[in-house]
């Protein structure tokens, strides 16, 4: 089965509730320059217990770089991970089949 829409979330999953953090009370940030945080309501959230935000960040970047609206009805994290794993696997297979030859010792 192929699913092309990673914006489909499971309705019964509990969503992460936004938590307002007072950064000045966290020791690691006390001597740092202050920064503003904008909280946005109505966008896709990770489910509770999902600590890896990498697939969400990659998906948001992909949507935004393509000029698409990020869906606000949720993202299916497992589907995203499978999609990116498949893309990386395919990239690795194509790269392994290519012949590379160079005399450059340091390509920088």
User: What residues pair up with 15 in beta bridges, in sequence order?
Assistant: 47
Say how far residue 75 (Cα) sits from the centre of its chain.
Answer: 10
Strands (E), 36-87: none
Beta-bridge mates of residue 47:
15
The pair of structure tokens assigned to 66 is 């393509």
Q: What is the pLDDT of residues 35-57, one digit of tens each?
A: 777 777 776 666 666 666 787 78
pTM: 0.46
Higher per-residue confidence, 101 vs 4: 101
Between the CA atoms of 58, 74, 48 and 51, what dihedral angle is there, to the nearest 10 degrees? Answer: 0
């Amino acid at each position: 089965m192929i699913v092309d829409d990673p914006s489909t979330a499971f309705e019964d999953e509990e969503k992460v509730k936004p938590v307002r953090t007072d950064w000045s009370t966290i020791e690691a940030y006390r001597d740092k320059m202050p920064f503003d945080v904008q909280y946005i309501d109505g966008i896709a959230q990770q489910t509770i217990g999902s600590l890896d935000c990498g697939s969400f960040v990659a998906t948001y970047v992909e949507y935004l770089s393509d000029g698409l609206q990020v869906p606000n009805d949720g993202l299916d994290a497992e589907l995203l991970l499978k999609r990116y794993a498949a893309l990386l696997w395919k990239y690795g297979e194509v790269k392994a089949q290519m012949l590379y030859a160079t005399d450059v010792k340091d390509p920088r």
